[in-house]
Amino acid sequence: MENLKVQDVRMLLEGELVTGSEHWYVRNAIYYHRHDLTDSHTLLFIGRKDSINWTEINSKGPSLIITDQPKSELKKTYSNITIIRVRNLVQAYWKFLNYYRGLFEIPVVTITGTCGKTTTKEMIKHILSKELTVQASISSKNEPRQSLPYLMGIDANTDVAVFEHGLGNTGNIRHQCMIYQPTMGMITNIGVHHLDGCKNLEGYIQAKSEIIDGISEGGTLLLNADDQNIKKISLQTFQGKVIYFGIDKKSKYRASNIRFMNKGMSFQLHILNQMYRVFVPGLGEHQVYNALAAIAVANELGMDVREAIARLRTFQNMERHLEFSKGIGGSTIIDDTWTNNPTSVEAALKVMDSVGKGKKVILVLGDIKRLGDFEEKYHREIGSLVAKRAIHTLITIGKQSEEISKKAIEDGTKANVHHFQDVTGVFDLLASELDEQTVVLIKGPMSSRSMIAFAKALKENQ
């Protein structure tokens, strides 16, 4: 964060100095009780009804409190606390955010989508970081409450920012766009997820489309040209530049001749009349889309395409994203326990179609969360996808995932099917099955610590 003089903050917010000195600088800003107070020289927004640990704030001082609590509640005097009272905290909060964002005329890229957000963001960061200072969201920590700290991470040294949009409910992306004010926005794909917060698929698509109105005037929107749900979004209100990526002919950044290679994907990239050969680490057609999106952003920000492609070759995939490891008996363990939704399950199954040829394939599938009233429907759809494939063993774990097993059996799967309420007993069942000709895909939600531990155990006992 850029240092801001307390006096300037008071004048900006038209606040009243209740106590303390205003002749010092803040170097951090948080919303009290939403973020941890860890550093001195911190500005804290404190709501009217928030309880205040005065001793803690004073010990981390100097601290600046911005609040609209009654003046009678603010008469306490502490050596390391300055208090500025404002008429309305919400208005002061947004005025401060708009002011701070306005200090920086830099590209700000934000990304939403059912799958690929984190990987695409990390690819963009990796490609750009060789020459530029990049401020980015951390891992997949993309929930709205993280937006303030991420914005505060921008300072005079920042050349570009890249953030993910978390979506739990309708309005989340709109809220984050108000904070980030992106100059470039992206939708990687729209599958099925968070239906409990968006009511149904149509509501989920609408929630994803909030990014369109959130892009700054004259900005750029990047879209997956092949995604059927993205095609349902109206672009009539968008006044900026629209760029497509994918395999569709209308894509400015188009992939063809996609091939599975050792530890990655190879494809031809077409941009206007130019053609480039690209290799991206990580298996799966979905990884090609991630690469297309990352290259598109880098190129639109002015980087030479060949340089972006060269940088992409050195990208290291994140852990538990279709992560390949050797396991018991020389088996191959594919750990995909980072996230779990129908779109990512289908992508993982397509990878298994390639790497599992001629092998003994074992699927271990866990519950898919946040499907609202559609839990049974989408679990059963996955069961049908599984039944179409040559699989030796299907293991489902959890209450909802039992529908996967039931539907796979109904559809005539030839796999040995087992269902468990939890991971207890799964290790014992699999241990004797694993050898050099076995490939095990473990697909579960990041909220399931037991499935993550189970996948780790298979890898640790090689």
For residue 462, the model assigns a pLDDT of 46
Between CA 303 and CA 286 the distance in angstroms is 23
Q: What is the pLDDT of residues 317-356, one digit of tens each?
A: 989 999 999 999 999 999 999 989 999 999 999 999 999 9
Neighbours of 242 (CB within 10 A): 12
For residue 412, the model assigns a pLDDT of 97
- Which region holds residue 125: left if phi is over 0, alpha if psi is between -120 and 50, else beta? alpha
pTM exceeds cut of 0.85 = yes
Strand partners, 184: 109, 220
User: 363: closest CA among 262, 290, 455?
Assistant: 455
**Which parts of the chain sit beneath pLDDT 50?**
462
| C-alpha pair distances (Å), 214 with each of 223, 332, 438 | 15, 44, 47
Q: How, if at all, do strands 81-85 and 16-19 pair?
A: antiparallel
DSSP 158: -
- Which region holds residue 260: left if phi is over 0, alpha if psi is between -120 and 50, else beta? beta
For residue 460, the model assigns a pLDDT of 66
Q: Is the Cβ–Cβ distance between 338 and 320 less than 8 Å?
A: yes
Q: What is the pLDDT of residues 123-181, one digit of tens each?
A: 999 999 999 999 999 999 999 999 999 999 999 999 999 999 988 899 999 999 999 99
For residue 180, the model assigns a pLDDT of 98
